[in-house]
């Protein structure tokens, strides 16, 4: 079960824009993430590489936590609003719920739930 301090430290890295650092510091080597119901991305190294690719595709990416993370045993739920600014300055936002499973202080699985149509608006 992650402590509140660990969950807050993870969230702070995201809020500070250190998305890759959050993966490298908190995800287990065998972690998996799922975008909605898509096939998972497996392994911390692949997850960090995927995140680097997302970050290079945009001029700026910001994360804002809408409310405190909810912790129940080994599970954490957080509502986020992400803003993606492209090279032309167009901003798209994504309101999502991140559902996480932790093993101690390591994040082992994260599922992102959102309406993908948001990014086209």
The DSSP-derived string for the chain is ---HHHHHHHHHHHHTT-HHHHHHHHEEEEEEEEETTSPPEESHHHHHHHHHHHHHTSSEEEEEE-SPPEEETTEEEEEEEEEEE-TT--EEEEEEEEEEEEETTEEEEEEEE--GGGGG-
Q: Which of 110, 92, 119 is nearest to 33 (CA)?
A: 110
For residue 42, the tally of other CB atoms under 10 A from its CB is: 12
Cα(19)–Cα(77) distance, rounded to whole angstroms? Answer: 17
Partners of 83 in the β-ladder: 62, 93
Q: Mean pLDDT, to the nearest integer, of 1-6? A: 95
pLDDT in tens, 13-50: 999 999 999 999 999 999 999 998 889 999 999 999 99
Residue 93 pLDDT greater than 80, yes or no? yes
Q: Which phi and psi angles does 86 have, rounded to 5°? A: -85, 180
Question: Which pLDDT does position 117 carry in this prediction?
Answer: 87
| pTM of the model as a whole | 0.93
């Amino acid at each position: 079960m992650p402590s509140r301090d660990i969950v807050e430290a993870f969230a702070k890295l995201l809020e500070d824009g250190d998305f890759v650092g959050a993966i490298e510091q908190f995800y287990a080597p065998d972690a998996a993430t799922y975008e909605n119901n898509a096939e998972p991305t497996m392994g911390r190294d692949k997850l960090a590489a995927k995140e680097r690719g997302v970050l290079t595709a945009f001029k700026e990416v910001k994360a804002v936590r809408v409310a405190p993370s909810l912790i129940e045993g080994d599970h954490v739920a957080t509502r986020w609003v992400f803003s993606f600014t492209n090279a032309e300055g167009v901003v798209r936002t994504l309101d999502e719920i991140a559902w996480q499973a932790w093993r101690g202080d390591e994040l082992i699985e994260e599922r992102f739930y959102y309406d993908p149509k948001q990014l086209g608006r």
